[in-house]
Amino acid sequence: DMCACPASVADAKCEDASKVVDVLLLGPPVCCMKSQFETKLAYKGIPVDVSDMRYYVMNDGEAGLGTALSLMK
What is the distance between the alpha carbons of residues 62 and 26, in angstroms, rounded to a whole number?
Answer: 15
Q: Quick: pLDDT tens for 21-33.
A: 999 999 999 999 9
Q: What percent of the chain has pLDDT over 90?
A: 68
Query: Can you give the pLDDT of all 73 residues of the chain as single tens digits?
Result: 778 888 999 999 888 888 889 999 999 999 999 999 999 999 999 999 999 999 999 999 999 999 999 999 8
Q: What counts of helices (H) and strands (E) characterise the chain? A: 4, 2
- Whose CA is closest to 51, among 30, 37, 72, 20? 30
Asked whether the beta carbons of 37 and 13 are under 8 A apart, the reply is: no
Asked whether the beta carbons of 24 and 50 are under 8 A apart, the reply is: no
